[in-house]
Amino acid sequence: ITGQEKQAAARIAEFEAQLTTVKQRIALPPQPVSALVYTPAAHSANLWTPESAQGKLLTQLGFTLATLPRGLQTSKSQGKRHDIIQLGGENLAAGLNGQSLFLFAGDNKDVAALYTNPLLAHLPAVQNKRVYALGTETFRLDYYSATLLLNRLAALF
């Protein structure tokens, strides 16, 4: 349609090659992981599911996404969604049950805010300093932000 199909195919192949290289080179942190967007001011988080672009990319790299405890109540204020699970209030800590926490759409200030939240201090990922900022641009994954995410994961692990 645009005449750019060959360039698009080449770009996709480059990304897939980078993904394969990163997967082969990284040493995974303790599993499973909770992948989320943390909102410190609201004491809430949106947890990425296996159906989200973020969850799919992590799974392709070999990470295992943590599953929610059975019966945990989650918010539906954003409607019925398949890419995120909304956590807040007393359910925030229970829902962040990964051995490592990956903060999408976040930076080191968000990591610091999570570490200073007394309601999350008991979490194994917090106690063992396994909370990782994956970049403010990772809210949506396009070629640019997904490439930066791969670079960041390769540097971290």
Instruction: For residue 86, give the CATH number of its domain.
Output: 3.40.50.1980
Residue ranges for the chain with pLDDT beneath 50: none
Q: State residue 141's pLDDT score.
A: 92
Answer yes or no: is 129 within a domain. Answer: yes
Answer for the pair 131, 112: CB distance below 8 angstroms, yes or no.
no
Q: State residue 55's pLDDT score.
A: 97
Answer for the pair 135, 112: CB distance below 8 angstroms, yes or no.
no
Residue 36, Ramachandran bin (φ over 0: left; ψ between -120 and 50: alpha; else beta) = beta
Q: State residue 147's pLDDT score.
A: 96
Q: State residue 74's pLDDT score.
A: 63
Answer yes or no: is 82 within a domain. Answer: yes
Answer yes or no: is 39 within a domain. Answer: yes
Answer for the pair 57, 146: CB distance below 8 angstroms, yes or no.
yes
Q: State residue 53's pLDDT score.
A: 96
Domain that holds residue 72: 29-141
Tokens of 21: 């290289």
Q: State residue 1's pLDDT score.
A: 75
Answer yes or no: is 61 within a domain. Answer: yes
The kind and range of the H/E element at 24 are: helix 5-25
Q: 110 vs 36, 38, 80, CA distance in Å?
A: 11, 7, 27
Total domains, the chain: 1
Q: Which distant-in-sequence residues (6+ apart) come within 8 Å of 94 by Cβ?
A: 69, 72
Distance (Å, whole) CA 138 – CA 54: 8
Backbone angles phi, psi at 135, to 5 degrees: 110, 140
Answer yes or no: is 75 within a domain. Answer: yes
Q: Which distant-in-sequence residues (6+ apart) come within 8 Å of 76 by Cβ?
A: 86
Q: State residue 77's pLDDT score.
A: 53
Answer yes or no: is 87 within a domain. Answer: yes
Distance (Å, whole) CA 27 – CA 128: 17
Q: State residue 63's pLDDT score.
A: 99
Answer yes or no: is 67 within a domain. Answer: yes
Q: State residue 75's pLDDT score.
A: 59
Q: State residue 80's pLDDT score.
A: 66
Q: Which distant-in-sequence residues (6+ apart) come within 8 Å of 37 by Cβ?
A: 45, 46, 48, 84, 103, 104, 105, 106, 139
The kind and range of the H/E element at 45 are: strand 44-48
